[in-house]
């Protein structure tokens, strides 16, 4: 029997996902990890939770990257530990398009890391 790896994603700023009427936190998963998308060549932070089935902690370990943004002085913006720049904020709209739309797409670096975890292949 073949067990395909599966994945569900939730942005931590959103309300908890529902999965067949069951809150996702209550659904059993092999592995749950938290990460910040800024770790994958992205200008915004987007705290994200991923649930994986049929994968191990070893498979998804390289995805577990949390930002430790720090202020260099009082009143200055926090600097991302990955990009070395302040995080871009995805609030509001520009020309009637919500800035959060930008966060729907995965960066190539994140997509490649995800492919590596899910399929065991280098992208």
The answer to whether residue 35 forms part of the interface with Zn ion (CB under 5 A) is no
Q: Which of 55, 67, 103, 117 contacts Zn ion by CB under 5 A?
A: 67
Query: Which span (24-32, 40-48, 100-108, 109-117) binds Zn ion, by CB under 5 A?
Result: 40-48
Contact range with Zn ion by CB under 5 A, out of 18-26, 62-70, 97-105, 113-121:
62-70
Could you please report the per-residue DSSP string of 19-82?
ETTEEGGGS--SEEEEEEGGGGT-SS--EEEEEEES--HHHHGGG------EESSTTSPEEPTT
CA–CA dist 123, 116 (Å, integer): 7
Residues 77-116 that bind Zn ion (CB under 5 A): 80
- The binding site for Zn ion (CB under 5 A) comprises 38, 45, 67, 80
């Amino acid at each position: 029997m073949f067990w395909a790896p599966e994945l569900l994603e939730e942005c931590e700023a959103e309300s908890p996902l529902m999965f067949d009427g069951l809150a996702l936190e209550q659904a059993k998963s092999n592995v749950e990890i938290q990460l910040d998308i800024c770790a994958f060549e992205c200008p915004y932070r987007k705290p994200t939770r991923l649930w994986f089935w049929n994968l191990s902690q070893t498979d998804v370990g390289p995805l577990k990257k949390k930002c430790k943004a720090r202020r260099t002085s009082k009143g200055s913006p926090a600097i991302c530990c990955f990009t070395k720049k302040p995080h871009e904020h995805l609030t509001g709209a520009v020309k009637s398009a919500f800035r959060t739309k930008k966060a729907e797409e995965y960066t190539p670096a994140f997509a490649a890391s995800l492919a590596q975890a899910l399929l065991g292949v280098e992208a």
